[in-house]
Structure 1
Amino acid sequence: MNVAGKVAIVTGGGAGIGAALATALVAAGARVVVADIDGAGALDVATRITAQHPDSAVGVGADVAGTAAIEGLIATAEQHFGPVDLYFANAGIVGAPGLDVSDSDWDLALDVNLRAHIRAAQLLVPQWVQRGEGYFVSTASAAGLLTQIGSATYSVSKHAAVGFAEWLNVTYGDQGVRVSCLCPMGVNTKLLYAGQESGEALGAAATRAVTSAGNVLEPAEVAEIVLAAIEHEQFLILPHPQVLDMYRHKGSDYDRWLKGMRRYQAALLADNH
């Protein structure tokens, strides 16, 4: 898909990867609704974009975990720009580390990291099938292919996000609906350092696990890779190519991989003392 002239919604667009995606999309000729639970952040990103590209972006404060909020974003896009062509389910949260996590924390992680994707697809995919074209981009994580040391809620919800994106691709890929799944490792955003700032040993280990596994990319670098992948309609987007090797090692000998991850976790926790 060529994004020029297309209408996109980017969730989690008030900072980080989402802000970079919105900026890159408009630079490539798209028009974008920038959505974030931090409404001021979304408005700021849209204002910076429109300063260079007038009438190309709108910022909206929205909690995209809920269906009503997503409906509102779609209506805003249609009002300002026209029918939605691309939806970037990019909003995400890390979640508390460890096993002692409340049901409400689990629900929040699943709502933001998974159900928000499902609810958006339920609203948009039927329209896209009728039109014969649409593009859904899911921001998961390398944790969705591998695992996340520290946060069970993050690891499990990101695995589920990858699974849902796969299902969408298989089920609707022959009906004009394109699906990509973004699975980066370390990206220089607040989310990367949330574990380090949690005050928990497992949380700090989670941050070090990512920062020590490969280069920490800037959001703009990731956005450039995503747009190139969309142009080629590539499902799995890996800004860190080594993730594919890690994924292959995991699948080739699961028990050996698990033992290696336990050793890695032990080393990271030892470094914290």
Structure 2
Amino acid sequence: MDATTAVWPRLNYQRTARRAVVRLLAFAPGPLPDLSINPGEYGLPAGDHLAALTVTAHDDPGQLDQWRAGAWRAGAEQDLVDARRLDAATHCVTIEADLPDPADLGHLQAAWALAQGLVAHGAFAVLDAHAGRWVDAALLETWPPERPFDLDEEVNVVLRTDGTDGFGHVLFTRGMAKFARPDIVAVVRPGMARMVNRVVRQLAGMLAEGGTAIPGQRLGAGDPSLGGAAAFHLAVYDPPSNAPALPLSNDALLVVAD
């Protein structure tokens, strides 16, 4: 087996006291095997990255039901080719990681490698719980082993236009916990949607690569990497005082336009 898959680097890595957490859930119509995969297989990089993962099989309907009902089901209806298959699923495997702020993203590659392996053995859908997004088996099967890191595959950027307690449009990320970094929230003023979207995505990319950000930090005017002409600063996300309560599984920073 080819063991040349490169580990995803964090080019701006600065160690913090935070922890990276991952939770993927693979659903199947029957039992899934205990997988043993090698570097290069399904994109697993060389090294001991599998040691960071905890893999648990479930066949209790009550445990499965909590992930295929309510808001999770609504997401499945949007993301999966046929969400009705969830109703017939009898088995689920969770792939979890909880580790000190890592210097690379091998733990994330390892988690997805196991998920792809489970798809190859019968799983039809994978829920990325921290990103709040389902991935259909048909999509996972198209991911090549040597694929580069893609922020859009790991972080869900959500725009809410209603139910925001009078704050108007709100843009926020889900999934930054996988990088041991806070999520990002922004209240979008009229006429600033495109620029705020760019700031949030570029800030998320910088944090995913290992950079850090703190409340009070300014994202300077004219900085092409973080928004261009407008100026912003960061604050602690503190609902409902400065933003609406959102379905996050992580703490967050609030991007505030000056």
Is the TM-score greater than 0.5?
no
Name the one with the larger helix percent: 1
Q: Please identify which structure carries the higher strand content.
A: 2
Please classify the TM superposition score into its range, dividing by the shorter chain length.
under 0.3
Normalized against structure 1, the TM-score is what?
Answer: 0.25
TM-score, normalised via structure 2 length: 0.26
Structure ranking higher on relative contact order (CA contacts 8 Å, 6+ apart)? 2
